[in-house]
Structures are given as structure tokens and as C-alpha cells.
Amino acid sequence: MRSICLYFQVHQPFRLRTYRFFNIGDDHYYYDEYQNRSIVRRIADKCYLPANKMMLGLIREYGSAFKISYSISGIALEQFQLYAPDVIQSFKELAKTGCVEFLAETYAHSLSSLSNKEEFANQVKLHSDTIERYFGQKPKTFRNTELIYSDRIGEMITDMGFTTMITEGAKHILGWKSPNYLYCSSLNPKLKILLRNFRLSDDISFRFSTHSWAEWPLTTEKFVGWLNKIESREEVVNIFIDYETIGERQWKETGIFDFFKALPKTIFSKSDYIFSTPSEISEKLQPVAPIHVTHPISWADEERDLTSWLGNELQDEAFEKLYSVQEKMNKCQDTEILHDWRLLQTTDHFYYMCTKWFSDGTIHKYFNPYPSPYEAFINYMNVLSDFILRVEKDFSRPAQKQVTRKLKIDEPVRQSRKSIEKTKSVVRKQSIKKTVKTDDKKAASVIVTGNFKSLNFDSILDLSDRKIKEMVKKVDLMTLTYATKGAHQAVREKIEKNLGKLALKKYHEFLDQIKTIKTAEVTKYRKKIEQEIKSLF
């Protein structure tokens, strides 16, 4: 009988907060804790928890006949541990059934396979150990970040002991051949390779709720009809999709949950397919041919290449600067720096810098939290500049007692929690601090009594020069300029005397450029200043 391999990718990045040039060398916490918590919690409620409940129900209904596979990035597991531990518990329930296979990948969902073999191997080992610790399985199958694969990467994976890998069934690699067979590496035939059927996978991932699509609406009967049209000698159909497709990308109202609930029954009653995991397929089938992949492929965009993350000047400069400290990181013993090193390697940071606005522009804009790739680049490079300063400082210290470089399995989560608690502690201390300079007493008393509403734009006059300097570091000059347009002369003078020479020059240039401005615009920018004033205490 022919097999269907149903595989889901689970990943969430640690999103960066707005990190300005003035923060470099002074502030070492880079992550938007509010965004990370709220997004993970939202997707947990819309996707992970109801989808896991549905999959568990299907396994209980059909027993070992229904099997699925997951790959969960290490940093997604970190965020689940921090913000949604019930998600981890629900995956553990699935693991107990024996009908779910968990795959290995890079811990940080990184591009390390394209840069450094040692870092690549370290991340794969850390991820495999983490999966075993959480779910009691030692991964047998490897899934590289974004399904990136080449002959060279396949060779590295074989050296790590894996015998099965999954990747994209890219047309420019297969040519006339079908993705619905088991293949092997051209350099080492012992590495068996399953290829994604991108047409059927994308029908679910991207086109499911598209009313302009000629095949809409997609029903299980229609989908199984397509499966039955595949030539009978083709052995396996690999449906690989992001798990967030269920409930997040395709909302519940589209019928996506109903589709997956009905899929097993329709397949069992109207086709000769069975559900199998990647390792099961690898064990029972033999490769029909090797595939030759000289240049890396991926499952992203129409091109199925690396241009979602590398290729333009912004991405290449950020990538090269990040990995320029690789040798020093090999000797680093600071666990906080090592943890940040991993989080900054996540592919999402480079994805946000993509300037492709053609066939896949809608997708790139939808998943990009920045207004433009250039702002994503500037923010990331500011963070990276501070990170490299920390690396250089750590590297220049006298050698201490030799300790192992490898992080403990629970160390990443501990470091994330430690960083978050450190930030909260600073905020708490600032909120209740009563011993302040004379100029700050009036504003501080507002904080101490909890009357935040009393703080407004004119509170600038009650702040010390030290507080003003802190405040202007956190806002861009354009915001400052619009906010102070038409403000009381005393307010403007207090701000101007705390600007550096270059900043002051730019400030006056911006003021001269603004001829007219609506009151609503001024109010909007002043509210931003007010928020920064409140954050000072």
C-alpha cells in the first residue's frame, strides 16, 4: 500500500524589540517580551492547543492507523516553557500515543548549515537532546531549517549519524522525476531522502481559503481524488506544512479544522493510502535514485532557493557580520552571550530583510513586523553591534578556569527566564524609587502614588538633565521634532541642551523642514514622548 507522510513544522522566533543606536553598549536585553508572550499565547489558543487536541482525538479514534510527525524548533520550545507550558504538555500527550515521530533540526532554526559545521553540529545535538528530554524520543529523521538541503549538507547530516532526511521536491532539481518516491543522497547513498509534494502541500497551506482559486472550496473528497490520480507505482506522498496553517494562517472559520478531522476517514474509505512516519517509510522502502543538489534548495517561495534569507546586500552584510565572531564564540564561556548568539541566528531576522516584492510579496509583507526591510536591517544591526561588543569584551578577559562550552539542556530556558526577570526587576526598582534628584521629585511622586495619568508632555520641565538624556536616547529625532513643534519655549530649550552637537543640528534641520503639521499629528507624537517619560521611573 502507498503511504501518506503528514509532517508539521512548529516554530516561533524570539522577536527583537526596537533597539536604537543610543542603546548600544548600554542595554543588553534585545527581545520584545510583550510581543513574544502575546503572540505565542495567541497562536497557542488558536492553533497549537486545539490542533493538538484534534490530532490526539484522531489517534484515539483510528489507533496506530493514523500517524503524524512534528519538528519543533528549540527556541519555540523555550517560549512554550516560558509562556505556554500547556502546549508542551499537549505535545507530550501526543508523544505517549506512539503514533507521533519528532524530527531533529537546528536548535535555533538557524542558517548554521551554510556557515559553520561545528556550530551546525552543536545545534543539532542540543536540539536532539532537548527533544529526547521533553518527549522521550531520540530523533531518527533530520529536517534542516526551512528544508534547506544540498549535497554538502547531506554529507554533514550523515556524519552526525542520521539515515533519513526530508527536503523540498523542487522542480529545478527533479526535472521530469516525481517527488512521490524515496530518494538518496548522491554523495552517500545511505542517507535516504523524502521530498515534499509542494503542490498538494501548498494547496492546504496557502490556497485553502482563497476564494479566487479555481479549486476552492477544498474538500477531503476532492483532495483524496487528487491522491488517487497519482500513478499507482508512486510510493509515497509527502505533505509537509507549517503547523500554524491550522487555525492561525487559515482561521477556524475557513473550515481547516473540519478538513483535517475528516481527512483520515476519507483516505481510509476512498483510497489505498496509509499514514506513515518518515522513519517508517525509510525502513520499508528502497531509494529509486540519487538526487544531485549542488546549490542549496529550500521550501520557500517560487524559487525554492535561499533568497528569502540571503542574497541582497542587507541580508548578506548581516549574515557575514553575525558569523564573523564564530571563532570567538567557540571559546566563549558566558552562558548569557551563548544564548543570545543562538537567538540572533534565527532565520526570521534575515527573512524580515528580504526585498522580494514580486511573486511572493504578499507572504513576505504579511509575516514581517517591520515597516520595511531597511528598518529590519537597522534594528538587527544595532542589536548585533552591541552583541559583538559583549563578545569582544568577553574574549579579551584573562582565561579563567576551563569550563565546558556546551549548554545544559535546560540552560536556554533558564537564560531566557533570567533575562526577562532581570528586566522586570529593573522596572520594579525604577517604579518605586523615592530617592531621586530634586528636579525629578515632582515626576517621581506621580509614579510612587501610581497616578500615571498626571504625567504628560509638559512633565519634561520637571525632569533632571539626566532623565532628559535617558528619554531622548529612546526616541528618534523625527518623533522628538514633531512632538516639540509649537511647544513651550522652555520645553524646547530643556530638550535642546541635552542633545549632542550632531543630534542638535539634525533636530533644527527637521524643525526647519516642517512648515505645517496637523494638531492630531502633534498629539500622536507627544503621546509617544509621554510613554517614554513614564518608562523612566
Coil, strand or helix: which one is 166? strand
Q: How confident is the model at residue 422 (pLDDT cuts 50, 70, 90)?
A: low
Distance CA 493, CA 319 (A): 42
**Which stretches within 97-209 are classed as H helix?**
117-135, 151-159, 171-174, 198-205
Query: Is position 113 within any domain?
Result: yes
Please indicate, yes or no, whether residues 253 and 322 belong to a single structural domain of this protein: no
Q: Both 259 and 330 in a single domain? A: no
pLDDT above 90 coverage of the chain, percent: 67
283 SS3 class: helix
Residue 428 falls within a domain, yes or no?
no
- Identify the residue with better confidence: 178 or 414: 178
Q: Over pLDDT 70: what percentage of the chain? A: 86
Contacts of 136 (CB under 8 A, 6+ apart): 95
pLDDT given at position 473: 82
Asked whether residue 301 is assigned to any structural domain, the reply reads no
Minimum mean pLDDT range among 111-120, 175-184, 252-261, 451-460: 451-460
| pLDDT at 329 (0 to 100) | 94
Q: Is the model's pLDDT at 483 over the cut of 90? A: no
pLDDT reading at 518 higher than 80? no
pLDDT digits (tens, 9 = 90+) for 310-322: 999 999 999 999 9
DSSP character at residue 453: G
Confidence of residue 448 (pLDDT cuts 50, 70, 90): very low
One domain, residues 128 and 7: yes
Q: Are residues 266 and 337 in the same domain?
A: no
418 confidence band (pLDDT: 50, 70, 90): low
Which range (138-147, 308-317, 374-383, 420-429) has the least confidence? 420-429
How crowded is residue 65: how many other Cβ atoms within 10 Å of its Cβ?
14
Residue 369 lies in a domain: yes
- Residues 332-368: tens digit of each pLDDT: 989 999 999 999 999 999 999 998 764 444 554 555 6
Using only C-alpha atoms, what is the Rg of the chain? 26
Report d(CA 244, CA 35) in Å as an integer.
Answer: 17
Residue 18 lies in a domain: no
Judge if the upstream peptide bond of residue 278 is cis by omega within 30 degrees of 0: no
C-alpha cell at 82: 516560558
Helix/strand/coil for 358? coil
Tell me which of 291, 323, 354 is where a domain ends: 291
Q: Specify whether 207 is located in the same domain as 278.
A: yes
Q: Residue 531 has what pLDDT? A: 81
Containing structural domain, residue 457: 436-535
Residue 508: its pLDDT value, please? Answer: 81
Average pLDDT on 165-176 reads 95
Tell me if residue 70 falls in helix, strand or coil: strand
The confidence score (pLDDT) of residue 461 equals 75
Q: Is residue 192 part of a domain?
A: yes
The pLDDT value recorded for residue 444 is 46
pLDDT at 497: 85
Domain co-membership, 285 together with 333: no
Considering the domain architecture, whether residues 110 and 200 belong to the same structural domain is answered as yes
Q: Are residues 331 and 467 in the same domain?
A: no
254 band by pLDDT with thresholds 50, 70 and 90: very high
Q: Can you give the pLDDT at residue 371?
A: 87
Higher pLDDT, 191 or 410: 191
Q: Which H helix or E strand runs over 6?
A: strand 2-10
Q: What is the pLDDT of residue 488?
A: 74
Of the pLDDT bands very low, low, confident and very high (cuts 50, 70, 90), residue 380 is very high
Q: Which range (186-200, 207-221, 363-377, 423-437) has the least confidence?
A: 423-437
Residues 269 and 322 in one domain: no
Got the DSSP string for 170-196? -HHHHTTS-SSSEEEESS-TTSEEEEE
Ranges 27-31, 429-433, 493-497, most confident = 27-31
Convert the pLDDT of each residue in 228-247 to its tens digit: 999 999 999 999 999 999 99
Predicted confidence band of residue 205 (pLDDT cuts 50, 70, 90)? very high
* pLDDT bucket at 443, cuts 50 / 70 / 90: very low
Question: Which pLDDT score, from 0 to 100, does residue 367 have?
Answer: 58
Q: Choosing from 101, 105, 119, 146, which is the catalytic residue?
A: 146
Q: Please tell me whether residues 361 and 494 are part of one structural domain.
A: no
Domain assignment present for residue 304? The answer is: no
Residue 191 sits in a domain whose CATH number is 3.20.110.20
Instruction: Note whether 87 and 234 are same-domain residues.
Output: yes
Q: Clarify whether residues 47 and 149 are in a common domain.
A: yes
The pLDDT of residue 423: 54
Give the integer Cα–Cα distance in Å for 356 and 373: 10
Domain count, the chain: 3
Average pLDDT over the chain reads 87
Q: What is the pLDDT of residue 413?
A: 66
119 belongs to the catalytic site: no
**How far, in Å, are 66, 273, 298, 305 from residue 155 at the CA level?**
32, 32, 17, 19
Q: How far apart are CA 36 and CA 8, in angstroms?
A: 21
Identify the pLDDT of residue 401. Answer: 43
Q: How many CB atoms lie within 10 A of CB 36?
A: 22
With bands split at pLDDT 50, 70 and 90, how would you rate the model's confidence at 525?
A: confident
The 10s digit of each residue's pLDDT in 23-36 is 999 899 999 999 99
Residue ending a domain, among 291, 321, 351, is 291
Q: Give domain status of residue 330, yes or no.
A: yes
Q: Which of 291, 324, 340 is the last residue of a domain?
A: 291
